[in-house]
């Protein structure tokens, strides 16, 4: 499940991250061409204090530094011997308290039937066409034009919601500029089609190279095989337009998590699996899932008495049940807060429009129940059968992926009605974890690698290049230090690998001892030798099978001061539990800890830990028995973790 996700609209074309050894791939030079006037945008001389690895001392300098940093990331990724020029400017754009266009970008020209074109009679974005032709096909024009919203810094999106110009990923409540620039540059580099989604017409009679891989999984046809009318219908065919390029599909299988689902267990007439959208807050869904009977929330007020936006009048009926609440009026978080306060064990939010799933965005760490969005049709079916009782399970599908179709192909964004600037040329918003090329920026994005690697490989960016490919590389603050995760396209290409660390992106660099382990296709390493409040930079030094040494990747993370003192109590798993459940918790420093189980009256029934524990992650097993070794009765129990910083609580249901 995604955590603390903030969504904002993005116009048109966008960017992600593939890390390749520059020596093997032939690094591209990407130059930012300042198109702002005197005193505006990149030329704004307002004094600023350096922030988050950005040394700029004026507002304009800090903006330009972020753009140049994003360009250097892409430059280390792309194999091109033709300079890529990005004409960029800050201008006032649409912005309100509800939504804002952060930026937009696209190719200045497109080209077809050039020397070395992999597919004839198809358009290619200028930068990609130049790379394949090995010459500049439009010397008079920059390759990409990019515009970013100047109004964000005036607070138009909300109090305190300004551009964050650091490059360390610590934007807090602000909007980090770096992933937005990476997103938009990615559009300009090739992540979009020139074919109209509203008319279905090709640009000047030619399809785009992307149309070769845009496939409607109902028709079994690609966009360059359809009629214009078929393309128009495909552009609004929710969950049916996929990217079937082999590289992106392969990468999706390793990158995407299991798909959230709602399983209706009874009554038999509506039993089955239904699509669901996981929330960015609350307990994570599991394969085992959580089951319970559904009760419709009632607030007896407003235009919809079942939207949970006013005080609930049937709160007692929701205790120990799965609450069903309509989408509308108030936030998803507010609905979850109301359901949890009433004692519900989970929340279903049914959509208020016929098409699609509720977005389920928001943030509140106090919400501990699982929450999902379901379609309007699924919600209506449940409500129609509540008289006889409806039992459901909220869980993850054992094989299907979030953001892919049932064949594992990544889904494109195709809402109905068509959304100009967003539809078709973005990944679908159901992807989990989030992808940089979705139509809205999420706060868990920074400079990480995702499916754009496969997409760019499919359209020809790496044609003729056989490098050691680092497909994912990320760093994040965790309980024991800073965790690094990476994945190579072919681990067999590697000879040796060394993690290097620095206090600045420019170095100096030194080898860093880490604790390394494997997690499926990923390798993880924990750097425990970190100080609170310090930002660390990491890269990988790799020797391939031929003995060539390459330096790959550039990521950063900061060891938060508060994380060294933080206490966390995870959701019990499984929950509900019949034979027992696992309780996980983390403490940031050695201290006295008491972990107990209490019944709904507050009576303590079992003590699982009582004493001083070392800092780090801990687990305890509860077998569903009390202090005398007798099985407790079925019902709701509370896990209480008491430390010097206070008490944290989770709910667990015992079934017999």
Check residue 582 and give its pLDDT: 87
Distance from CA of residue 592 to its chain's centroid? 36
For residues 535 and 239, what is the distance between their CA atoms, to the nearest angstrom?
40
For residues 345 and 42, what is the distance between their CA atoms, to the nearest angstrom?
51
Read off the pLDDT of each residue in 221-242 and give the average, rounded to a whole number: 96
For residues 322 and 11, what is the distance between their CA atoms, to the nearest angstrom?
38
Strand order in the sheet with 19-20: 19-20, 469-478, 481-488, 522-527, 515-519
Q: Is the pLDDT of residue 370 over 90?
A: yes
DSSP 306-368: TSS-S--S-HHHHTTSEEEEE--SS-HHHHHHHHHHTT-SEEEEE-SSSSS-----B--TT--
- Running DSSP on this structure, what letter comes out for residue 44? -
Check residue 536 and give its pLDDT: 86
For residues 371 and 367, what is the distance between their CA atoms, to the nearest angstrom?
9
Q: Is the pLDDT of residue 546 over 70?
A: no
Check residue 309 and give its pLDDT: 94
Question: What is the bridge-based pairing of β-strands 581-587 and 616-622?
Answer: antiparallel
DSSP 359-389: ---B--TT--S-EEEE-HHHHHHHHHTGGG-
Q: What is the dihedral of CA 588, 594, 596, 598, to 10 degrees?
A: -100
126-133 and 177-189 helices cross at what angle (nearest 10)? 60
Check residue 522 and give its pLDDT: 79
Check residue 4 and give its pLDDT: 24
Q: Which of 102-106, 220-224, 448-452 has the lowest mean pLDDT?
A: 448-452
**How confident is residue 8, by pLDDT bands cut at 50, 70 and 90?**
very low
CA distances from 232 to 124, 348, 423, 426 (A): 21, 33, 11, 16
Read off the pLDDT of each residue in 442-463 and give the average, rounded to a whole number: 84
H-run or E-run covering 107 = strand 103-107
Question: What is the bridge-based pairing of β-strands 175-176 and 214-216?
Answer: unpaired
Read off the pLDDT of each residue in 192-219 and give the average, rounded to a whole number: 97
Read off the pLDDT of each residue in 316-335 and give the average, rounded to a whole number: 95
Check residue 291 and give its pLDDT: 96
> Between these two residues, 77 and 10, which has the higher pLDDT value?
77
Each residue's pLDDT tens digit, 37-75: 999 999 999 999 999 999 999 999 999 999 999 998 888
For residues 516 and 523, what is the distance between their CA atoms, to the nearest angstrom?
7
Contacts of 596-600 spanning 24+ positions with Cβ under 8 A: 596/639, 596/640, 596/642, 597/622, 597/637, 597/638, 597/639, 597/640, 598/637, 598/638, 598/640, 599/632, 599/635, 599/637, 599/638, 600/635, 600/636, 600/637, 600/638
For residues 336 and 626, what is the distance between their CA atoms, to the nearest angstrom?
31
**How confident is residue 14, by pLDDT bands cut at 50, 70 and 90?**
very low
> Between these two residues, 416 and 476, which has the higher pLDDT value?
416
Q: Is the pLDDT of residue 24 over 60?
A: no
**How confident is residue 491, by pLDDT bands cut at 50, 70 and 90?**
confident
Question: Could you tell me the domains of the chain?
Answer: 19-253+405-456 (no CATH), 258-401 (3.50.30.30), 468-562 (2.60.40.10), 565-654 (2.60.40.4070)
Q: Is the pLDDT of residue 32 over 80?
A: yes
Read off the pLDDT of each residue in 252-256 and give the average, rounded to a whole number: 84
For residues 85 and 340, what is the distance between their CA atoms, to the nearest angstrom?
52
**How confident is residue 238, by pLDDT bands cut at 50, 70 and 90?**
confident
Q: What is the dihedral of CA 334, 335, 341, 342, to 10 degrees?
A: 160
Check residue 480 and give its pLDDT: 66
Check residue 208 and give its pLDDT: 98
Task: Answer yes or no: are the C-beta atoms of 425 and 192 closer than 8 Å.
Answer: yes
Read off the pLDDT of each residue in 143-170 and give the average, rounded to a whole number: 90
> Between these two residues, 496 and 299, which has the higher pLDDT value?
299
Check residue 16 and give its pLDDT: 23
Each residue's pLDDT tens digit, 506-542: 678 888 877 677 766 778 888 878 887 788 888 888 8
Check residue 561 and give its pLDDT: 54
Distance from CA of residue 175 to its chain's centroid? 15
Check residue 465 and give its pLDDT: 59
Check residue 539 and give its pLDDT: 87
- Beta bridge partner(s), residue 45: none
Q: Is 404 helix (H, G, I), strand (E, B) or coil?
A: strand
Task: Quote the Cα angle for 97-99-104, to 5°.
Answer: 135
Task: Answer yes or no: are the C-beta atoms of 334 and 341 closer than 8 Å.
Answer: no
Q: Which of 128-132, 396-400, 403-407, 576-580 has the lowest mean pLDDT?
A: 576-580
Most trustworthy range by pLDDT among 298-307, 352-361, 579-588: 298-307
For residues 639 and 637, what is the distance between their CA atoms, to the nearest angstrom?
7
Q: Is the pLDDT of residue 357 over 60?
A: yes
Q: Which two tokens stand for residue 221?
A: 């046809």
> Quick one: 455 exposed, middle or buried, by C-beta within 10 A (0-12, 13-18, 19+)?
buried
- Beta bridge partner(s), residue 57: none
H-run or E-run covering 63 = helix 59-77
For residues 469 and 22, what is the distance between their CA atoms, to the nearest angstrom?
10
How many other CB atoms are there within 10 angstroms of residue 110's CB atom?
A: 21
Mean pLDDT of the chain: 86
Quick one: what percent of the chain has pLDDT higher than 90? 53
Quick one: what percent of the chain has pLDDT higher than 70? 91
Q: Is the pLDDT of residue 619 over 60?
A: yes
Task: Answer yes or no: are the C-beta atoms of 294 and 324 closer than 8 Å.
Answer: yes
Gap between the terminal Cα atoms of the chain = 29
Among 77, 165, 24, smallest CA distance to 543 is for 24
Check residue 22 and give its pLDDT: 31
Question: What is the bridge-based pairing of β-strands 175-176 and 591-599?
Answer: unpaired
For residues 250 and 409, what is the distance between their CA atoms, to the nearest angstrom?
8
Each residue's pLDDT tens digit, 547-598: 677 778 778 887 765 544 566 777 777 877 887 888 888 787 788 899 999 8
């Amino acid at each position: 499940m995604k955590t603390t996700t903030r969504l904002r609209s993005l116009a048109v074309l966008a960017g992600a991250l593939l890390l390749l050894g520059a020596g093997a791939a032939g690094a591209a030079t990407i130059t930012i061409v300042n198109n702002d006037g005197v005193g505006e945008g990149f030329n704004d001389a307002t004094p600023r204090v350096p922030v988050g690895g950005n040394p700029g001392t004026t507002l304009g300098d800090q903006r330009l530094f972020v753009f140049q940093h994003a360009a250097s990331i892409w430059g280390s990724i792309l194999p091109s011997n033709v300079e890529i020029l990005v004409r960029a400017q800050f201008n006032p754009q649409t912005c309100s308290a509800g939504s804002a266009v952060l930026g937009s970008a696209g190719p200045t020209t497109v080209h077809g039937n050039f020397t070395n074109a992999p597919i004839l009679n198809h358009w290619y974005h200028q930068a990609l066409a130049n790379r394949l032709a090995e010459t500049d096909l439009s010397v008079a024009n920059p390759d990409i034009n990019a515009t970013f919203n100047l109004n964000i810094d005036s607070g138009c999106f909300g109090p305190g919601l300004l551009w964050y110009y650091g490059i360390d990923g610590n934007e807090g409540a602000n909007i980090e500029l770096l992933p937005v620039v990476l997103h938009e540059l990615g559009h300009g580099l090739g992540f979009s089609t020139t074919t109209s989604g509203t008319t279905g017409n090709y640009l000047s009679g030619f399809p785009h190279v992307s149309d070769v891989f845009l496939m409607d999984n109902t028709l079994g046809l690609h966009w360059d095989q359809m009629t214009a009318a078929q393309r128009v219908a495909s552009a609004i065919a929710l969950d049916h337009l996929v990217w079937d390029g082999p590289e992106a599909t392969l990468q999706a299988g390793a990158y995407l998590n299991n798909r959230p689902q709602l399983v209706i267990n009874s009554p038999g007439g509506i039993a089955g699996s239904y699509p669901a959208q996981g929330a960015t807050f609350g307990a994570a869904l599991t394969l085992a899932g959580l089951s319970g009977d559904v009760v419709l929330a009632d607030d007896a007020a407003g235009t919809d008495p079942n939207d949970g936006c006013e005080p609930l009048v049937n709160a007692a009926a929701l205790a120990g049940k799965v609450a069903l609440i309509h989408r509308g009026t108030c936030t998803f978080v507010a609905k979850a807060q109301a359901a949890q306060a009433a004692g519900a064990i989970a929340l279903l939010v049914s959509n208020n429009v016929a098409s699609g799933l509720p977005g389920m965005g928001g943030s509140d760490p106090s919400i501990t129940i699982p929450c999902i969005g379901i379609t309007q049709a699924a919600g209506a079916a449940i409500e129609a059968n509540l008289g006889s009782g409806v039992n459901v399970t909220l869980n993850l599908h054992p094989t299907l992926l979030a953001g892919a179709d049932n064949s594992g192909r990544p889904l494109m964004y195709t809402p109905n009605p068509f959304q100009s600037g967003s539809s078709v040329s973005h990944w679908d918003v159901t992807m989990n974890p989030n992808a940089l090329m979705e139509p809205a920026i999420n706060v868990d994005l920074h400079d990480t690698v995702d499916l754009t690697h496969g997409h760019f490989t499919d359209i020809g960016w790496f044609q003729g290049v056989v490098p050691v490919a680092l497909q994912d590389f990320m760093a994040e603050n965790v309980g024991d230090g800073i965790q690094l995760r990476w994945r190579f396209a072919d681990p067999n290409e590697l000879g040796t690998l060394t993690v290097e660390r620095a206090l600045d992106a420019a170095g100096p660099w030194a080898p860093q001892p880490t604790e390394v382990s494997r997690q499926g296709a990923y390798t993880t390493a924990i750097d425990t030798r970190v100080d609170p409040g310090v930002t660390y930079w990491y890269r990988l030094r790799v020797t391939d099978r031929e003995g060539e040494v390459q330096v790959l990747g550039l990521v950063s993370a900061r060891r938060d001061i508060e994380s060294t003192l933080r206490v966390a109590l995870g959701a019990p798993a499984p929950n509900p539990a019949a034979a027992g459940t696992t309780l996980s918790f983390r403490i940031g420093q050695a201290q006295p800890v008491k972990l107990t189980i209490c019944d709904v009256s507050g009576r303590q029934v079992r003590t699982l830990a009582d004493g001083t524990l070392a800092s780090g992650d801990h687990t305890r097993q509860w077998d569903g028995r009390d202090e005398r070794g007798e099985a407790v009765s079925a019902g709701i129990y509370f896990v209480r973790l008491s430390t010097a910083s206070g008490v944290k609580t989770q709910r667990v249901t015992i079934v017999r």
